[in-house]
Amino acid sequence: MTPLTVVAGQAVSLPEADVDTDIIYPARFLLITEKKGLGAYAFADRRADPSFPIGTDNDRPILIAGPNFGCGSSREQAPWAIGDLGIRVIVAESFGEIFYGNCFRNGMLPIRLDATDVAMLRGIAEAGGTISVDLEARTVTAGDVAIPFAIAEDRREALLKGWNDTLRILALHGDDISRFEAAQQRATPWLWTART
């Protein structure tokens, strides 16, 4: 994954509440399992409306979403598709819990803020202003206003270093794994026979 430190630019506003994973990535596309190119299917049923703010040519890296964003089924294609659109940060009052976790696993930062802060950021997004998210400082900045946000330290570290779950385990416990494998290979060599 690409490390995430600072994401800045114009944001896109999607104020609707309860945008579920079927809206984000319709079920009829679930047989497509390749991550690359899934942005073409993101919000497929909503994009027919010319007023829908997100297109496949999205060049805005921050999404200001409505409450309970990403609720519904656990399809991981939803964050894959959003990420393929170039969105790295999603700000909302609340998220579907599974979607929230899947964002971190796929290199995106979901940020929970209170309704007042989300409304202020939405106004800036809709006016075409820029927003900056600094993961190291844990702040969302718009103009002269810096809004702090909370994030679990293990998730913050993984995003800063570009680790998925496997890379995190290897980085933190690689030496232990190597020692275990060496000891196991000595004790039970038949488990380590060469495959042909």
Put residue 107 in one of left, alpha, beta given phi > 0 → left and psi -120 to 50 → alpha: left
Q: Is the pLDDT of residue 107 over 70?
A: yes
Is 156 among the domain residues?
Answer: no
> What average pLDDT does the chain have?
94
Instruction: Count Cα atoms within 13 angstroms, Cβ side, for 97.
Output: 0
| pLDDT at site 58 | 81
| pLDDT at site 1 | 85
Q: Is the pLDDT of residue 145 over 70?
A: yes
> Do 25 and 103 belong to one domain?
yes
- Per-residue pLDDT reduced to its tens digit, 58-103: 889 999 999 999 999 889 999 999 999 999 999 999 999 999 999 9
Residue 60, burial from CB neighbour count under 10 angstroms (0-12, 13-18, 19+) = buried
> Do 129 and 44 belong to one domain?
yes
Distance from C-alpha of 151 to C-alpha of 157, rounded to nearest angstrom: 10
- Per-residue pLDDT reduced to its tens digit, 8-56: 999 999 999 999 999 999 999 999 988 899 999 999 999 989 899 998 8
Distance from C-alpha of 69 to C-alpha of 75, rounded to nearest angstrom: 14
**Lookup: tokens for 60:** 């805005």
**Model pTM score:** 0.90
> Do 145 and 175 belong to one domain?
no
- Per-residue pLDDT reduced to its tens digit, 162-176: 998 888 899 889 999
Range of the domain at 21: 6-151
